[in-house]
């Protein structure tokens, strides 16, 4: 079987020789550690897209170690290279810079303070402090909408014909309809208003939030329409990150009121265009929302963050085959050594693989407390566990 065949059969709860060997990626600090511990330079040929301050300048590229790493046997899962951010982007402005931090307004119009100390390959050791967001009123939203014209030709790359020739026919890898980390109902509204601003708006500006959800649904459907017709992707991924360790950032009641209708529109649209596998990406504990996510048309949940209590065995026990799963391998165990790695893999992989509908991966990217030796051991032990089950 090739990677695409394994992926499709896993997502449909069909038998496979083994699941795809996927992983999410690495912190910049992790890459530096591994290079110091013997990882060959040719194993990691990618250069950072960030400058020395860790500020993104220029649009993202959707390729590299987040989507496969052949040197380590991590299989490829490319995405349709759509540009789903603001067009034109806001001008990046550095407002203040010290030895410790930089205050800047980014391409999404967000004012943020970023820690410079410890920044490696564009990865900062802590999250930025978000100070201000571009949308506070309906008038602000009307202005923001001008930057989210789904028909803007720049949303498709200039080399679109080459992409079609590479992935539009019989391909051996699964193709996602949108780049990971780009679009979702909560994540896009949060990009405009911020977590606090959006949380308040549920109660103080509900009409505006409903307008945003309607706009986002239309934006997703119109921006992807060409790709769905011309390249026929295998799956779609909603990027949300709408939970923390204690639970979701909204109650099930709020999710049902504000988000469920839009999800239903988009997932129905995707199915009419042949995309039946629909992933949702969120860190944190989303358990209270899972019944509504299933109702919304989500078919796979990832990355199942162990530190937030998202155990794939419990999700499967409670929800059965209503959801395929990906992730759930506790990254903290990889830092503890080989015995801990073996114990973690034995506790999750055999039972879940026997039931089907599961792709084992780390529950996020590899942090720098994982040694190069433990990383290599994990990959070998995981592959053995997948092949032996």
pLDDT on residue 62: 44
Q: What is the mean pLDDT of residues 147-171?
A: 95
Q: What is the pTM of this model?
A: 0.94
Each residue's pLDDT tens digit, 274-333: 999 999 999 999 999 999 999 999 999 999 999 999 999 999 999 999 999 999 999 999
Which carries the bigger pLDDT value, residue 116 or residue 266? 266
Question: Quick check: 66 pLDDT over 70?
Answer: no
∠366-22-46 over CA atoms, to 5°?
Answer: 60
Burial of 226 (0-12, 13-18, 19+ CB in 10 A): middle
Number of H-type helices and E-type strands within the chain? 13, 11
∠66-67-68 over CA atoms, to 5°?
Answer: 105
pLDDT on residue 362: 97
Q: What is the mean pLDDT of residues 78-103?
A: 94
353-356 contacts at long range (C-beta below 8 A, 24 or more positions apart): 353/19, 353/386, 353/389, 354/389, 355/13, 355/316, 355/321, 356/10, 356/13, 356/14, 356/15, 356/321
Give the residue extent of every domain in the chain: 3-85+134-388
* Residue 341 CB contacts under 8 Å (≥ 6 apart), including other chains: 333, 334, 374, 377, 378, 381
Q: What Cα–Cα distance (Å) separates residue 259 from each residue in 45, 213, 242, 302?
A: 40, 7, 12, 19
Each residue's pLDDT tens digit, 208-247: 999 999 999 999 999 999 999 999 999 999 999 999 999 9
pLDDT on residue 122: 72
User: With respect to CATH, is domain 3-85+134-388 assigned 3.40.50.620?
Assistant: no
Each residue's pLDDT tens digit, 10-62: 999 999 999 999 999 999 899 999 999 999 999 998 765 444 445 554 445 44
Inter-residue contact 141 to 192 (CB < 8 Å): yes
Q: What is the mean pLDDT of residues 63-77?
A: 81
Each residue's pLDDT tens digit, 92-129: 999 999 988 999 999 999 999 998 887 777 777 788 99
Mean pLDDT estimate for the chain: 93
């Amino acid at each position: 079987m090739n990677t695409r065949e394994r992926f499709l059969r896993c997502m449909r709860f069909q038998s496979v020789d083994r699941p795809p060997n996927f992983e999410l990626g690495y912190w910049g600090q992790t890459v530096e550690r591994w290079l110091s511990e013997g990882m060959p330079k040719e194993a990691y040929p990618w250069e950072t897209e960030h400058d020395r301050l860790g500020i993104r300048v220029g649009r993202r590229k959707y390729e590299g170690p987040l989507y496969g790493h052949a040197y380590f046997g991590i299989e490829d899962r490319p995405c349709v290279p759509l540009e789903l951010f603001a067009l034109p982007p806001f001008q990046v402005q550095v407002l203040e810079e010290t030895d410790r931090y930089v205050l800047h307004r980014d391409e999404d119009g967000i004012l943020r303070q970023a820690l410079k100390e410890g920044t490696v390959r564009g990865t900062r050791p802590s999250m930025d402090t978000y100070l201000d967001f571009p949308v506070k009123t309906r008038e602000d939203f009307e202005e923001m909408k001008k930057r989210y014209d789904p028909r803007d030709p720049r949303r498709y790359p200039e080399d679109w014909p080459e992409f079609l020739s590479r992935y539009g026919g019989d391909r051996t890898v699964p193709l996602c309809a949108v780049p990971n980390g780009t679009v979702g109902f909560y994540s896009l509204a949060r990009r405009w208003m911020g977590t606090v601003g959006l949380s308040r708006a549920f109660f103080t500006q509900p009409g505006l939030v409903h307008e945003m959800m309607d706009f986002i649904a239309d934006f997703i459907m119109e921006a992807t329409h060409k790709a769905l017709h011309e390249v026929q992707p295998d799956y779609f991924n909603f990027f949300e990150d709408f939970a923390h360790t204690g639970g979701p950032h909204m109650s099930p009641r709020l999710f049902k009121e504000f988000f469920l209708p839009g999800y239903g529109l988009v997932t129905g649209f995707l199915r009419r265009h042949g995309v039946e596998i629909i992933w949702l990406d969120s860190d944190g504990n989303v358990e209270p929302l899972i019944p509504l996510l299933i109702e919304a048309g989500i078919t796979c949940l990832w990355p199942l963050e162990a530190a937030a209590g998202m155990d794939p065995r419990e999700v499967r026990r409670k929800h059965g085959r209503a959801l395929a799963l990906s992730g759930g391998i506790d990254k903290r165990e990889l830092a503890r050594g080989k015995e801990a790695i073996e114990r973690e893999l034995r506790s999750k992989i055999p039972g879940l693989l026997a039931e089907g509908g599961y792709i084992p991966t780390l529950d996020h990217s590899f942090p720098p407390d994982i040694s190069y030796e433990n990383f290599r051991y994990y990959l070998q032990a995981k592959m053995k566990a997948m092949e032996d089950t």
